[in-house]
Amino acid sequence: MFIAGLLSTIASGQWIKYPTEGVPRDKNGKPNLSAPAPRAPDGKPDLSGMWITAEGLPCPESLKDDTGDCLEKSPLSRFAADLNKAVPGGLPFQPLSLEILKQRQQSGLDPHVRCLPSNFPRMFTLPHITKFVQTRKLLLLINEYNASYRQIFMDGRTRPEVTLPAWYGYSTGKWEGDALVVDTIGFNDRSWLDDAGHPHTDALHTIERFTRPDFGHLRVQITIDDPKAYTKPWTETIRFELAADTEMLEDVCDNEKDAAHYPK
C-alpha cells in the first residue's frame, strides 16, 4: 500500500495527467480538437500549446514487447526516418550532399548519439512534445529533447549579420493573414535533417509557415533552401496534434557512452 501510494504521489507530482486550462471539451469531458482555434489579444491566431507529430509511423517489430504493444508510446513522424522517401519526388541532391550522406551512413555517428542538439525540421519529427509559448513579440518553442529551446522574434527586427552559426539558426517571424511566416538563417552544418543523415550546410535558409486550422491541430510548411547541398529548394509539411491534459517531462541526454562503441 505504501509503495502504491508513493508511486501515486510521484505521478501526480510530475503532472502527467493534469487538465489543460482553456481546452474546449465535449459532453464526455474529452478535448474537442475540432473547436475553433484560439486568438491572441491582438486578433492573431494563438499557436500556444503542447504539440506532437500527428503523422506517426507504424511501430517497428524491434520496439514491440511480448504482447505486441509498442515500447515507444509516442510516434516518429514519417519525415523522421528518410526525407528522400517522404518528400514527393525525392530530394534534389548536389554531389556534395551525396558524399556527406555516404560518409554519415558508414560512420553511423548521429549527433543524437553524442548528446548533441537536434535542429528543425528534425526536432519536429521526434517522439517528443514541443511546447509553443506565444506573446505579441516572441514565439518560444520548448522541446523535451535535451531540454532545448528556440526563439522566433516577431518584434520587427531584421535578419542578423551572422558571426556565430548556431544549431537552431536565427529566426524572425511576421504574420501574413492567419499564417506566421518564419525566416531562419545562420545555421552551423553539424546537424542531420533526419535519421538517415541527410545533410545541410551553413548556407541553409528556411521559410516556415505556421497555421492553426482549429483548436487541436497545427500545420508547419517548411521550405529548405540550401544551394550548397541541394540543386533547388524543396518543401515538406509537418502536421501536429495538441497534447492535452499532460505536461512535459525533462529528457536530458546524460553520461552518454554509446558513441565510443561506434566504428571510427
Q: Report the alpha-carbon distance of residue 121 to residue 83 in Å, rounded.
A: 10
Residue 253 lies in a domain: no
Q: Tell me which residue range forms the domain holding 225.
A: 49-244
pTM score: 0.86
Q: Per the domain annotation, does 57 fall within a domain? A: yes
Domain assignment present for residue 143? The answer is yes
Which pLDDT value is given to residue 264? 44
234-257 per-position pLDDT tens digit? 999 999 999 999 988 888 887 655
| Cell 529548394, located at residue | 233
Q: Is residue 10 part of a domain?
A: no
Q: Is residue 43 one of the residues assigned to a domain? A: no
The verdict on residue 239 lying in a domain is yes
What is the model's pLDDT at position 213?
98
Would 30 be classed as within a structural domain?
no
The grid cell for 207 is 521559410
For 21, the grid coordinates are 486550462
Identity of the amino acid at 73: K
Which of 78-82, 97-101, 102-106 comes out lowest in average pLDDT?
78-82
Asked if residue 123 belongs to a domain, the reply is: yes
Q: Specify the number of domains making up the chain.
A: 1
